[in-house]
Chains A and B, each alone.
Chain A
């Protein structure tokens, strides 16, 4: 997480406004000043990295985060459906078509939850999930890509759902309903890749609980696919005794 995320003035800006600022000459100049080495004892000036995207605070940021996961999967599966590898059997192509559909439904539902008018651009216009790091030209490559994304999403949901309190129970219920479909996807892809690995010890611990991942871990795993953009989320609490696992491992 970059330091400027802790400055109240920075946090108060909406994502849209911040993105706008990122391309403005003034912010480019202030970034240059910091790079040039201004007096460290003066009031800190936000260093504006034009590719830095800080997700909004609170529940809205978690909806963006879930949206990002569905964007990653829907983009990947659309490519698989459009140009399936020759060695991907028809039955498995049908599985990917279904998963593509589920992810599009999730993506659009999350976009609706973030902005019911659907008018707002959630990310910059050239923001994309980059597929070139995957090998989507073979069955093995497709399944490896899907495994990585599905296990990430399945591990992400149990961490963010508890943050939706009674004031946002509607979104929480929808995320809950999506979370187990993510888990079904993950188990399916695991079984396709290695039969019987649907819930093996790499994803389920000795007490029978899914091993979760914090947003920081998930965003780090996704980072190579989002270049040049760098996404970060504000950790509300880094104390393991009170943080229900958003940013620290939960026992």
Chain B
């Protein structure tokens, strides 16, 4: 195998390839490896400094992104704890599904906590009574109400991970985040089926007008979000995220812009074919997940 040829091939895919030979980037990209994560955990200060250096000049670090994700996972895990304890689940099938989802959310909390620690950061925390947890007064009393909140939380998670993916580009943390993100979408589909809704976000949803599916607010400065279980930075965002009903990609209308013949699909189908982004400040807004934090 020709060494220069490998470099050539790499460069075609990743313009930053030469940076990877810098020790900083080499350490950086190996973070996703479980085996190496434990070794790296021995030098948290060193690694933390690397992150600061790698992301100097931007408004948030990968640790901020992961703490944001961990906040949502803690919220979901605590919600499903309450759901299982509420005694409203009507049958063994429903109990098994919620138990399965709770197990995944707990695993996501553990995974993100470990990853943040390995990166030299301080993970946000939450228990049933302290820190980041579901606001007890917002917990619905009925099974239907509980499933409704489950759908909104899962669909918010799907949009929220998308909103910060760009900040993890160039690290294997992005793949890890996307693997979690994909599982959240599977949860969302199942909860929707449990509710008798279509498994994908669509204009006929009974909750279509909920803020979870609409466009959001804008702000021009980055900020620090403080929760009961810790704080994390979020970047500035000058454009509101597209609503789930959007049928435009960039400037191209999906119904007329991408096919030569009249489109065989409706505008509603085009909108349903894409799950949209929600930026962090929109997610932590009181109208969405932020309003469910204790």
Contact = CB atoms under 8 A, between A and B. Distances in A.
Interface of A: 6, 8, 11, 57-59, 95, 98, 101-102, 104-106, 108-109, 111-112, 118, 154, 157-159, 161-167, 169-170, 172-174, 176-181, 183-188, 191, 195-196, 198-200, 203-204, 206-210, 212, 234, 236-237, 240-242, 244-246, 250-251
A74 to B, nearest CB: 10
B179 interface: yes
A142 B97 CA distance: 24
A57 B12 contact: yes
A6 B96 CA distance: 50
A251 B33 contact: yes
A196 B96 contact: yes
Contacts of B263: 108
A58 B13 contact: yes
The 4 closest A-B CB pairs, nearest first, are A208-B107, A183-B185, A209-B179, A180-B185
Contacts of A250: 32, 172, 175
A200 B190 CA distance: 12
B258 A241 contact: no
Contact of B277 (A57, A101, A105, A177): A177
Nearest to A161: B178
Contacts of A163: 13-14
Given A208-B105, A241-B29, A245-B172, A180 B182 contact: yes
B93 A209 contact: no
B273 A106 contact: yes
B220 interface: no
Nearest to B198: A98
Contacts of B259: 108, 118
A184 B188 CA distance: 7
Contacts of A102: 200, 269, 272-273
A250 B176 CA distance: 9
B20 interface: yes
A109 B179 contact: no
Interface in B47-74: none
B5 interface: yes
Interface stretch (B127-135, B142-150, B247-255, B279-287): B247-255
Interface string B120-138: 0000000000000000000
5 contacts: A101-B266, A161-B178, A185-B199, A210-B186, A244-B32
Given A162-B178, A240-B33, A98 B190 contact: no
Interface on chain A toward B: helix, strand, loop, or mixed SS? Answer: helix
B274 A177 contact: yes
B258 to A, nearest CB: 4
Interface string B178-199: 1111111111111001000011
B8 A8 contact: yes
A163 B172 CA distance: 10
Contact of A209 (B176, B185, B269, B273): B176
Contacts of A180: 158, 162, 181-182, 184-185, 188, 275
A102 B201 CA distance: 12
A204 B252 CA distance: 35
B254 A105 contact: yes
B264 interface: yes
Nearest to B21: A242
A158 B2 CA distance: 29
Contacts of A204: 104, 183, 186
Contacts of A105: 254, 265, 269-270, 273-274
Contacts of B29: 241-242, 244
Contacts of A162: 169, 172, 174-175, 178
A140 to B, nearest CB: 19
A240 B159 CA distance: 30
Contact of A244 (B111, B175, B249): B175
Nearest to B181: A180
Given A158-B182, A208-B107, 18 more contacts: A11-B9, A101-B272, A102-B269, A105-B273, A118-B259, A162-B174, A163-B14, A164-B169, A180-B162, A181-B185, A184-B185, A185-B200, A187-B199, A196-B100, A199-B101, A210-B183, A240-B33, A251-B36
B175 A208 contact: no
Contacts of B82: none
Interface in B66-106: 93, 96-97, 100-101, 103-106
Contacts of B172: 162, 244-245, 250
Contacts of B10: 236-237
